[in-house]
Structure 1
């Protein structure tokens, strides 16, 4: 586990960038957490009338408060809010709204995930703020986007996974549609938002002109249908649920062993021949039904049971060692505890320990980016509600530094 308590070191790639974060739940906060990790100053606006970001109440579990109770930091909230300063502000209150408007005037980026048009009544919508501040990069995230027949419908991750088609591909062939185990539609939308913001900032720096980024959960989810979506567009054949099987490669699946499960990912015919050698079934590689990947796809139903029967009596260690020695891609199926406790996770900083004033440190997942010149600096724990409010007042009262 990496100790991220020391904020010193090389400057972040986005040092000096100021972000006004009007988002909540997961997609927007994922984006702004990434920006914070890269060095941006992120001011997260939270409504005191609702207790702040909805996910503060999405527990247990919660981080301890240092006095024998729970803090307002649910594990869900901590997953996407490190590195930020929390500002208690009610947009319906004129004084609080004036504070946010002052911040918008100093910000480089605004990100929000209100329903389309929901910020117009507060004068914080993209048309209003871009008219006042032409260099602003303004990112709107919603379920279905700012246009289209469904623009006014609410959007949550599960709904996006259902509408966008991924649930029809996930699960066993004879089972019901299944969502991915985490909020992947939200997370990927946050990733696309980060890319869009960085592209818009590059354009702003070159031309002085900001712009509006319109991003939808459903749009981004459809975009990462990737090969399955393109398979359908190319063939006209709707994709089917295959469990852990691959639509274009065989064998590429999870198989039971005597003491667990392993992943076998055979990418070419030479690997398949070496795989069959390990199984003690060299005839499979010579069988015309299985000798090539297209043939294996056609005869998947005959091949997979034969492979499964040959693997189920062997231990995980035996299979992994045997296939690694033959240069056949193989790996274990870890539980979450096993994955996060692995030597690889330790070496790569997959888990961070972040200090808090007056309370025990919290552990969160690390950022996978490894930048040689401007390393990620995830050193600030997820904020208690409103802890940065006075800091924002103090910062806004300081004169703006020349660029």
Structure 2
């Protein structure tokens, strides 16, 4: 099956996680994603720990074939060109690529692309139909747009750390760099929307994506601004304050999570716990009472779950259709049949070692009925496609490319 973005050319100037996540999704949808990195420094994750190679995974490079695990994951399905954009000839070569491209994505700090002469206005002069995406920590506008940001800073800045963890615990980040991943997902969505608009109107545009905006937009569905009036602490642990019970509960041999979001869920939970007698109790059967007295409700569920093994708790809850799950560690999740059937784990290939490595990468998370979506090629050797792309897409001659390589403007192994 043909992929949705087959024939779409994306020039990828991004680094680290948020930008490469966006272009990884585009690659999975079939776009020809061309990574462009500085020949002198390359992709910062390509040879950064942790490494994977012929002798396994480690924080130290054991062989010359070892490569960074992050690079092996995030560069799948992409081509690699090493081109010095600070050199006038390198910048001119890049602009030749822009003429034939559909999308340019960067996650430079605000203003950097303009200083390099490759900001949206410069791109639009070369290709009026270009879709440009700038992915930054705090956006391309606003008084604090120039501040440098990683996931930790964004989680802190928008209040995520103030709501994560138990009520009496210090600020904590989510266990995964969610602001990077979320921003990359929003960026891919924005690019797709801009491409759809261009297909309808013929007009390109710039897409401004802020990590802070994206994380806050998803967080703020919850009425955190009303918690004080409701007498609630911001940190609710595993709870959602609209539901009770809704938590993690210890069993005889582990942990499970369970929750009642509706009155039907609550009634079913009482049946699972053999406490249908409480259905006649108007007080505990009232959601407002349970919300105000959540600790008492949690104690009720905890006392029941703590007398049984996890499998039995889950069996009883699933029999009456109460939402629940075992609390799996990552290794257990990777053995979960549901994820395996959905092909959510794929082997990683090291192009220097020319062999698979111990680590795995995530599969493409969206399934389509009429088109394919997957990362068909492994991460490339840095600069692997410099010659091919500059000749085929940029229209340079072989002698032009040789001259650029001799001057160090490009790297073409």
Task: Please say if 1:59 is aligned against 2:10.
Answer: no
**Residue equivalent to 1:19:** 10
Task: Please say if 1:379 is aligned against 2:376.
Answer: yes
Compute the displacement of 1:78 (Å).
Answer: 2.8
**Residue equivalent to 2:133:** 139
Residues 232 and 285 of structure 1: is their aligned pair in 2 closer, same or farther, counting only changes over 3 Å? farther
Q: 1:360 aligns with which of 324, 346, 355?
A: 355
Q: 1:391 aligns with which of 388, 392, 395?
A: 388
Q: 2:280 aligns with which of 276, 286, 290?
A: 286
List per-residue Cα deviations over 1:326-377 (Å, max 9, x = no partner): 1211111111111111111211101113555552124311011111111103
Compute the displacement of 1:123 (Å).
Answer: 1.4
**Residue equivalent to 2:37:** 46
**CA distance, structure 1, for counterparts of residue 392 and residue 349 of structure 2:** 23
**CA distance, structure 1, for counterparts of residue 121 and residue 66 of structure 2:** 34
Compute the displacement of 1:145 (Å).
Answer: 0.9
Task: Please say if 1:232 is aligned against 2:225.
Answer: yes
* Conservation of the 8 A alpha-carbon contact between 2:37 and 2:81: yes
List per-residue Cα deviations over 1:139-165 (Å, max 9, x = no partner): 001111111110111111111110011
**CA distance, structure 1, for counterparts of residue 53 and residue 204 of structure 2:** 39
**CA distance, structure 2, for counterparts of residue 281 and residue 236 of structure 1:** 33
**CA distance, structure 2, for counterparts of residue 266 and residue 366 of structure 1:** 31
**CA distance, structure 2, for counterparts of residue 62 and residue 46 of structure 1:** 21
* Conservation of the 8 A alpha-carbon contact between 1:249 and 1:297: yes
**Residue equivalent to 2:160:** 166
Q: 1:116 aligns with which of 110, 118, 128?
A: 110
**CA distance, structure 2, for counterparts of residue 254 and residue 200 of structure 1:** 42
* Conservation of the 8 A alpha-carbon contact between 1:289 and 1:295: yes
Structure 1 unaligned regions, length at least 5: 1-9
Q: 1:98 aligns with which of 88, 92, 99?
A: 92
**CA distance, structure 1, for counterparts of residue 263 and residue 48 of structure 2:** 48
TM-score (norm 1): 0.90
* Conservation of the 8 A alpha-carbon contact between 2:164 and 2:173: yes
Compute the displacement of 1:18 (Å).
Answer: 0.2
**CA distance, structure 2, for counterparts of residue 347 and residue 34 of structure 1:** 20
Residues 73 and 226 of structure 1: is their aligned pair in 2 closer, same or farther, counting only changes over 3 Å? farther
Counterparts of 1:247-262 in structure 2, within 5 Å, are: 247-262=241-256
**CA distance, structure 2, for counterparts of residue 48 and residue 284 of structure 1:** 70
**CA distance, structure 1, for counterparts of residue 221 and residue 291 of structure 2:** 16
Compute the displacement of 1:292 (Å).
Answer: 2.7
* Conservation of the 8 A alpha-carbon contact between 1:27 and 1:187: yes
Residues 72 and 139 of structure 1: is their aligned pair in 2 closer, same or farther, counting only changes over 3 Å? farther
Compute the displacement of 1:196 (Å).
Answer: 0.7
Residues 91 and 263 of structure 1: is their aligned pair in 2 closer, same or farther, counting only changes over 3 Å? same
- Secondary structure (helix, strand or coil) at the match of 1:150 reads coil
List per-residue Cα deviations over 1:45-86 (Å, max 9, x = no partner): 112222x22223441132449997264532222332211111
Structure 2 unaligned regions, length at least 5: 397-413
List per-residue Cα deviations over 1:119-143 (Å, max 9, x = no partner): 2232101111113211000000111
* Conservation of the 8 A alpha-carbon contact between 1:64 and 1:70: no
- Secondary structure (helix, strand or coil) at the match of 1:56 reads coil
Counterparts of 1:170-319 in structure 2, within 5 Å, are: 170-228=164-222, 230-232=223-225, 240-319=234-313
* Conservation of the 8 A alpha-carbon contact between 2:80 and 2:386: yes
**CA distance, structure 1, for counterparts of residue 347 and residue 205 of structure 2:** 37
* Conservation of the 8 A alpha-carbon contact between 1:257 and 1:314: yes
Q: 1:28 aligns with which of 19, 27, 32?
A: 19
* Conservation of the 8 A alpha-carbon contact between 2:227 and 2:234: no
**CA distance, structure 2, for counterparts of residue 144 and residue 379 of structure 1:** 33
* Conservation of the 8 A alpha-carbon contact between 2:363 and 2:374: no
Give the alignment's Cα RMSD to 1 decimal. 2.2
* Conservation of the 8 A alpha-carbon contact between 1:72 and 1:385: no
Task: Please say if 1:335 is aligned against 2:329.
Answer: yes
- Secondary structure (helix, strand or coil) at the match of 1:54 reads coil
* Conservation of the 8 A alpha-carbon contact between 2:53 and 2:67: yes
